[in-house]
Amino acid sequence: MSAKEQFDFLTRNAAEVVPSDELLQKLERSVDSGAPLRVKLGLDPTAPDVTLGWAVVLRKLREFQDLGHTAVLIVGDFTAQVGDPSGKSETRKRLSADEVRGHAERLLGQFWRILDRERTEVRYNAEWLAPMGMEEILRLTASYTIARMLERDDFAKRFAENKPISIMEFLYPLLQGQDSVAIEADVELGGTDQKFNLLVGRELQRHVGQEPQVAFTMPLLVGLDGVQKMSQSLGNYVGIAEPAEIMFEKLMSIPDELIASYLSLCTPMPTDEIHAVEIGLSDGSRHPNSEKRRMAGAVVSVYGGEAAAAAAEERFDKVHRDRELPDDIAEVTLPAGLAGEAKIWLPRLLAELGMATSNSDGRRKVAEGAVRLEGTPVTDLEAEFAPDALYGRVLQVGRRKFVRIVPSS
């Protein structure tokens, strides 16, 4: 593939490439010399799961990898303890080393669902950041000014609102930029909220005499709520390691206006086909539900295969369209504290079985009409049941939680 063909393929769904002409030049040199580009992606292990939002940049790294370039995955075991302030309206809580280590071990297993493990260079940035002494840190801080830091929208807004900004937060972009220096990156990938950090990396590389990297940003995937970016802390996410039926059901809940975006950022569907979907949804020639099913199936197929996607759609229809119970309902026994009671208050039962976070949450779910017993809605906030009346029956909360209550043996 020529340099121009690589450029067009890689940038087809990008948000911004800064500067784009440098990327083309780097690709041309790579084709002429046969030397692959070093393409960096840094991910801080601050959460336990890889979401479809994270997968957007991971999939782009895989595209560079499949074109013969070197994928360099930076596990930010050091920077995760500092905390990336990007997009934050307040100082971020620091994680402990043990928390970071636990997340990193879990995440690496999920990364290989997207990246080719044998062709990925994995580096931990504590390798070069942890040994830095005060002299090196001072030299690093001298390479950037507070005025430049305050050009960041989130810092500028917090400063204007007189909200705290720690010096440690100012250090984060410098530490991320130092990663680029350490591995001599040609390109760095990130979401649009990482643009400032990626450009800092360019400056630090230039400062030490390296050719500056290209900042390659991808759009942020909007979460299931249709408003904010996908985030585990907000609960509006789909995890790539979740069961296929859960992924499919979550994806079917997104607003119709996000269908094309999910096709573009989460599936390998060609651009012209996605454009046809956009036109069809706009002029009414395509039905949103059909296209949403198509999108959900395509995303699930990426991580679980076509058979899993087909089974997930069948289960979705059985539960939601045909109002049938799924075949794989977990069996549970009543907790010892409840089994001996004459009557069990339903909200408490939900909390004890883990189907609600508390008695009050259980009451809320009952009030919302989200609770069914053997398919019949239960809306009485004071509903009580004898244990014998529950045995063998299916309790359902919302669209995804089903248990069959059985007596203890």
Nearest one of 182, 196, 117, 104 to 149, comparing CA atoms: 196
Q: How many CB atoms lie within 10 A of CB 183?
A: 21
Judged against a pLDDT cut of 70, whether residue 90 lies above it is answered with no
d(Cα 86, Cα 88) in Å, to the nearest integer?
Answer: 6
User: pLDDT tens-digit profile of 128-186?
Assistant: 999 999 999 999 999 888 888 888 887 888 888 888 888 888 888 999 999 999 999 99
More confident residue, 169 or 58: 58
User: pLDDT tens-digit profile of 287-307?
Assistant: 999 999 999 999 999 999 999
Judged against a pLDDT cut of 60, whether residue 87 lies above it is answered with no
Provide mean pLDDT across the span 11-29.
97
Judged against a pLDDT cut of 80, whether residue 319 lies above it is answered with no
Q: How many CA atoms lie within 13 A of 217 on its CB side?
A: 17
What is the rounded average pLDDT for all residues in the chain?
90
Domain at 330-406: CATH code: 3.10.290.10
112 three-state secondary structure? coil
Mention every residue, 6+ apart, whose C-beta is less than 8 A from residue 282.
Answer: none
pLDDT band at residue 93, thresholds of 50, 70 and 90?
low
Share of the chain above pLDDT 70, in %: 95
Provide mean pLDDT across the span 313-326.
77
Beta-ladder partners of 71: 39, 120
More confident residue, 221 or 331: 221
Would you kindly state where each structural domain of the chain is located, as residue ranges? Answer: 3-218, 244-321, 330-406
* Three-class HEC string of 17-81: EECHHHHHHHHHHHHHHCCCCEEEEEECCCCCCCEHHHHHHHHHHHHHHHCCCEEEEEECCCHHH
Q: Please give the pLDDT value at position 79.
A: 86
pLDDT band at residue 370, thresholds of 50, 70 and 90?
confident
Contact 133, 58 (CB under 8 A): no
Q: Please give the pLDDT value at position 98.
A: 77
Nearest one of 203, 186, 218, 211 to 17, comparing CA atoms: 218
At how many degrees (to 10) do helices 288-304 and 306-316 cross? Answer: 140
Contact 13, 216 (CB under 8 A): no
CATH of 244-321, one of 3.40.190.10, 1.10.240.10, 1.10.3720.10, 1.10.10.60: 1.10.240.10
d(Cα 73, Cα 43) in Å, to the nearest integer?
Answer: 8
**Phi and psi (nearest 5°) for 149?**
-60, -40
Q: Yes or no: is domain 3-218 CATH 3.40.50.300? A: no
pLDDT band at residue 10, thresholds of 50, 70 and 90?
very high
Query: What 8-state DSSP symbol labels residue 318?
Result: I
Q: Please give the pLDDT value at position 5.
A: 97
Q: Please give the pLDDT value at position 323.
A: 65
Q: Please give the pLDDT value at position 84.
A: 64
Judged against a pLDDT cut of 90, whether residue 28 lies above it is answered with yes
- CA angle at 346 for the pair 354 and 331, rounded to the nearest 5°: 50
Provide mean pLDDT across the span 111-138.
94
